[in-house]
Amino acid sequence: MGTVGAGTLQVIQDNQAEIDARARINIRVTHVGARNKELDSSQADIRLSKDIFEVARDPDVDILVESIGGIEPAKSLVLEAMASGKDVVTANKALIALHGNELFAAAEESGVTLSFEAAVAGAIPVIRSLRDGLAANRINSLAGIINGTGNFILTEMRDHGRSFEAVLSEAQDLGYAEADPTFDVEGIDAAHKLTILASIAFGIPLCFDEVYTEGISKLEKMDVQFAEELGYRIKHLGVAKATEQGVEIRVHPTLIPESMLLAEVDGVMNAVWIDGNASGPTLFYGAGAGALPTASSVVADIVDIARNHHDEAGNGVPHLGVDSAKQKDIPVLPISECTTAFYMRITAADKPGVMLAITQVLTDAGVSIDAIIQKEAEKKSSQVPIVLITSEAKESVLNHALQQIEALEDIVEPVVRIRAESFEG
């Protein structure tokens, strides 16, 4: 009975008439497990247990909603509920991303459903859209703004020219960011969600450990502004791409053209852009967090399960789109083998010949320059920033060129490098 649990109770009660009609059955909260909460007097018909496992053992409970978060005791609770024949709905992305393979096997073993629409992108029905709505497609790529805190910070940095630290501190005051913001700003939360999306998109087992993850905490406002001058916005994206060599699954700050709809997704909102080989580009947008938006997806899962109960069906839809025996064994490429364009900010001594030397290194590496800004040196400074966007290149190739650039005599600081994507073709 934290945020999501209380939201779920509220939605089930507020929208009872609509939900019951759609589910073709009456959906009621009968038992709440809450270690430190009391229910108010209007909830007198709901049983309350301080031992949350009481709910998993209650024979009157058909569907258990896990809204604890984290791994334990959530995992044990879910396993116990499923073992006793209950369907389970969870909003727990870490649990699914890290232990989903095991949990789905247990669900199939018990003949129950483990649903997790709310685990990715809050109110957006992106699991359904990808697993069911786009089931006819080979997915070429997807890119998601799937952490609202990070997107709020980047939006504020761009709109008001503020620093990462200043915005984070405000986000914490507003309650958009946790006291420990690591999960959000270092991309771990986004990597959990991307793991789930990539598994469904490509029909592969969940593989959180192989997801490359880079945060936004080192992003400087200067680079946000230079990106803007070049016609780009910096978003903290989760990207999954099918290539001939394998799949790329990565979370990192990314320049995207400001003309993309995804670039317009601001503040705490989430969106997932998906490109299928039949559908072409699609985008799914909505609130990524919050009590009611998350509950919207939790209750949608309950309705789905209830609709199946109505017809005494089993679990018609494989949890991750295909059965585990049918999942493909495709390699996840290390980040060094991934291909993107790159934004580079090179701080050089204000001398002739520097630009030529940089261009020479990149040309030798087979990398061309798509756009460039060269600023005049500020007064009293003998240093100039050279900002450029490269053509697409394999990361290992680019890294090698970067080392050579940093070794040039007139390069006075480490080069700032941010990946860029246009998601075309």
Catalytic residues: 193
| Minimum gap (Å) between residue 366 Cβ and a copy of itself | 33
Which one of 4, 9, 19, 227 is in contact with a copy of itself (CB under 8 A)?
Answer: 19
Answer yes or no whether residue 396 interacts with a copy of itself by CB under 8 A. Answer: no
User: Site residues for a copy of itself, window 122-141 (CB under 8 A)?
Assistant: 123-125, 128-129, 131-138
Cα–Cα distance between 145 and 287 in angstroms, integer? 11
| Minimum gap (Å) between residue 235 Cβ and a copy of itself | 14
| Minimum gap (Å) between residue 317 Cβ and a copy of itself | 6
Answer yes or no whether residue 413 interacts with a copy of itself by CB under 8 A. Answer: no
Which one of 166, 318, 399, 408 is in contact with a copy of itself (CB under 8 A)?
Answer: 318
| Minimum gap (Å) between residue 23 Cβ and a copy of itself | 8
Which one of 317, 369, 372, 408 is in contact with a copy of itself (CB under 8 A)?
Answer: 317
Which one of 117, 156, 189, 214 is in contact with a copy of itself (CB under 8 A)?
Answer: 117
User: Site residues for a copy of itself, window 73-112 (CB under 8 A)?
Assistant: none
Cα–Cα distance between 63 and 55 in angstroms, integer? 10
Q: Which C-beta is closer to a copy of itself: that of 134 or that of 386?
A: 134
Which one of 106, 290, 339, 349 is in contact with a copy of itself (CB under 8 A)?
Answer: 290
Answer yes or no whether residue 285 interacts with a copy of itself by CB under 8 A. Answer: yes
Q: Which C-beta is closer to a copy of itself: that of 149 or that of 213?
A: 149
Which one of 71, 261, 373, 377 is in contact with a copy of itself (CB under 8 A)?
Answer: 261
Q: Which C-beta is closer to a copy of itself: that of 10 or that of 217?
A: 10
Size of the site for a copy of itself (CB under 8 A): 69
Q: Which stretch binds a copy of itself (CB under 8 A): 74-82, 240-248, 273-281, 337-345?
A: 273-281
Which one of 292, 332, 354, 405 is in contact with a copy of itself (CB under 8 A)?
Answer: 292
Tell me the one-letter amino acid at 122: G
Residues contributing to the site for a copy of itself (CB under 8 A) = 7, 11-12, 14-15, 18-19, 21-24, 117, 123-125, 128-129, 131-138, 203, 261, 264-265, 271, 276-287, 290, 292-293, 295-300, 302-304, 307-308, 310-318, 321-323, 326
